[in-house]
Structure formats: C-alpha cells, structure tokens
Amino acid sequence: MSDFVAAEDRAVLENRKLASFEALWALQLEAVDEPNTERGGWSSVYRLELGGAAFYLKRQSNHLARSLRHPLGEPTFAREFRNIQAYHRLGIPALQAAFFAERHLPGERRAILLTRALDGWRDLDDWLQGWSAAPAATRQAILRACGELARQLHGAGQMHGCFYPKHIFLKASGAGFTARLIDLEKTRPLLLGRRDRIKDLEPLLRRASVWNEAEVRDLLAAYLGAVGDVEGWWQQLGARRRRKEAH
C-alpha cells in the first residue's frame, strides 16, 4: 500500500515538512496515554496541533493483527485505515484520515495513522455522565442521532464490532445532533443479518445503563424507522443483555 496523504491536509503537512513517514515518525511529542503493548509490539497516540488544525498521530511497531487474509499479521493501523476509507465510500459518518503509511524494516514493521481531531465534538460516554441533568429535548435528539447512526452503519452492510458510548461522537447541529464513529479496527461486514445487528447494538445499551426503557425504545424507533418492530427488537436485545450479564 502506498503512502496516503489526504488532499485537504496535504498543504498544512507539507508547509511544516511533515508529509512523510520519516518526518512524522521522528517527531518528538508527549503521548496522550500509556502505550498499548498487548500484541507483542507497541502502539502510541499523540496530539499534534498545526496552526488552526489539530490531529491525532498514532505510531506503532510490530503491533500486528492476524487473520485468514494476513496469517503472518499486519499493522492494526492498516486495518483501521482501510475501514476508515470504506466508511467514507459507504457514506457512514466516521473519523477522517489525513495520513497513512507503513514501513518494513529488518525484524520490524512500523505504521503511522494520522487522523483529524474531533474538536468541538463530545463522546456519548461524556454525555451519559450528566444524562439526567440534560434537557429532555437534548436527550431525545441524542437518542435519535445514535439510532440514525446505527441505521446508516447497518444499512451499509457493516458491523462496527465495538459500538460503545466512547466510540460515538456527537456535535450539536441545528435543533438536533450529528453523530460519527471512531475506532473502526474491528469493523466487518454484516454476515448474519439481524443476529449481527443485535450483537452490535446490545453492548451500547448495556453500557448506557442510565437510559430507561422509554429512551431505549426511542433509539430503536430512530434505528428501525416508522415500520420497525420496536417491541420485537426490545425483547431480543433484553434477552441478549441478560445472557451477557449472567456470564
């Protein structure tokens, strides 16, 4: 895969001589959290501000994911970048990539993924902390935005695989909210229809435990549309949640 530089970000990166793998790899920055070392290598995230533009720079070494297609492994950022591009083609609202590249060195595989920061957006997890204090109209608009986001995702034939509150970002837009997704590494095609859709939605509802039954039904109504079987979905989601909690 050749190096990717988004057309709309090329100028700001080139002006600061940061439009190459080598320059971004050598950049000295403070990590925003502890490195991820679960896969035998490492992966770190940094915030990068360039004038009026803000990005998250992700660098990794030998942090590989294995699959039937890549039995020897590939950088997890390569998979995430492919999914970001797929979401863009399919019209699913999600984070945007500014740069991606990987390098093979003796005994080491490196990768860089640069994404635009979602400044001005708040993740759903943050909204849930003060859910009861938010105005009723705000709560309804957020539920509607989340339901419509899930409908776009599944309508495009994709399963997120980590459809959690911390991965759904929201921004006020007119009288409502706009929503988009991050953390696309585990995305895969919907293979089992309604079963996969239930599997994707249930973790969101389990983690958003502050939502009452009426609010969950409102989200399902936005997800399913006017002719959807809200009652049937409510029952199936509840059954899966009870099974998961029992384990």
Report the Cα 23 to chain-centroid distance in Å: 26
How many C-beta atoms lie closer than 10 Å to residue 5's C-beta?
A: 18
DSSP secondary structure letter of residue 35: P
pTM of the model: 0.93
Among 116, 151, 184, where does a domain finish?
A: 116
128 shares a domain with 90: no
Domain limits for position 63:
4-116
pLDDT digits (tens, 9 = 90+) for 54-110: 999 999 999 988 877 777 778 999 999 999 999 999 999 999 999 999 999 999 999
- List pLDDT tens digits, range 177-235: 999 999 999 999 999 899 999 999 999 999 999 999 999 999 999 999 977 899 999 99
Number of domains within the chain: 2
Query: Of 52, 82, 116, which residue sits at a domain end?
Result: 116
Fill in the DSSP letter of residue 230. Answer: H
State the DSSP string of 88-138.
HHHT--B--EEEEEEEEETTEEEEEEEEE--TT-EEHHHHHHTGGGS-HHH
Final residue belonging to a domain, choices 116, 138, 159: 116
pLDDT at residue 117, as a whole number: 97
Same domain, 136 and 236: yes
